[in-house]
Amino acid sequence: MNKNNLDQKLRYNDAGNVHMDFHGATNTTIEFIINKYGIETMNDIFKKVGNDVYKDIKDHIKKGNIKMLAKHWQHFFDRENADYNISINDEEIILTVNRCSAYEHVRKLVGNVSPNFCDQTIKTNEALAENTPYEIKTEILGEAACRQTIRKRA
Amino acid sequence: MIPSDHFTRFYNEVFKFLEDQGEEHLEAYWLEISKNQEKHTLELFKEKGLKGMYEYWDHIRIEENCDMDLKLDDEKLELRMNVCPSLSKVLDNDAEPMKRYCDHCAGWIGPLIDKVDHHLVYDVIDRKKPQCVVKIFKDKEKAIEEEKNAKLLMKWPGKK
């Protein structure tokens, strides 16, 4: 499918310059929260991001419109110049991230990336799919690489 | 990945959790962010003083798409934020904004400016509006004098 052939308006549609250093602050935050409050607290915060911040995408998923999530992924992975492929159809979307620019930026910035850095993706995805007819599976394929799949629950 | 464009909305969720734990929890986090920011600002600020601070915030002005005026003279650096993209995004949000979102900025900048022996006057004006005026002075007495003009003066860990 043509990457641009998704004629739906994103709730958050950012433009202009990209401040990649925010990923460094995310890494610091993950380490801080886990060290002080534990991993469950960090996961609960990601859950709030999935449920509340991304309420609009979640509402679309509930209604069976998973293409809004595809548009969100494309828009922001393009803005951050990540290397990825996406396959989109009405039933299933598979996003394969070959080189995550967020992960790579943090590695460049601070040297060591938190072992829980990718939880922001895994847990936010889980929350997005919770209480919807869909599941989102996030598989870590290696450093700075993952596959995210949304499809109907079995 | 939470896009860097959406970091401030994630930040907002972290603040709400920490605020529920108590003020000292929020302050500990601001100090951690401040320490993180030291990595790319402390040497610059120590070495070049106000000029180094101007360089840093001029870079931020561009990269974070800020509508901000920067003015540097021999005595002070003045940042006039006309439209803050950070608070603007938090207000344009399906999740509830933290009511004291603006406080984090002085929370991390203040301790850093203290470390380089300059004096911060942070006027948030109104927490519901994405605008503020930040003045950084070389001279402590001039900063104290300027504090009298602030509409909503911010404090930070170490300055109560």
Binary contact (A76, B3; C-beta < 8 A): yes
What value does the mean pLDDT of chain B take? 97
pLDDT tens sequence across B84-106: 999 999 999 999 999 999 999 99
Residues of B in contact with A40 (CB under 8 A): none
Give the ipTM of the model, two decimals please.
0.95
Nearest to B32 among A20, A22, A32 (CB): A32
CB B81 within 8 A of CB B134: yes
pLDDT at site B160: 66
Q: What is the pLDDT of residue B159?
A: 87
* The CATH number of domain B4-147 is 3.30.1380: yes
What Å distances lie between residue A116 and A28, B12, B88, CA to CA? Answer: 11, 20, 29
The pLDDT tens digits for A7-19 are 779 999 999 999 9
Report the C-alpha gap between B75 and A13 in whole angstroms: 40
- The first and second tokens of residue B108, run together, are 């991390």
Q: How far apart are CA B90 and CA B86, in angstroms?
A: 6
Structural domain boundaries, residue A63: 22-152
Residue B66: closest CA among B80, B51, B84: B84
Task: Report the helix count and the strand count for chain B, using DSSP H and E.
Answer: 6, 4
User: Does residue A3 belong to any structural domain of this protein?
Assistant: no
Answer whether residue A17 is part of any domain: no
Q: Is A101 left (phi over 0), alpha (psi -120 to 50) or beta?
A: alpha
| CB atoms A25 and B7 under 8 Å | yes
State yes or no: pLDDT of A2 exceeds 80: no
At residue B27, does pLDDT exceed 90?
yes
Strand, coil or helix: what is A141?
strand
Look at chain A and report how many structural domains it folds into: 1
pLDDT given for residue A137 in this prediction = 98
- What's the CATH number where A114 sits? 3.30.1380
Query: Nearest Cβ partner of B62 from A17, A80, A124?
Result: A17
Place of tokens 């739906």: A8
CA A111 to chain centroid: 22
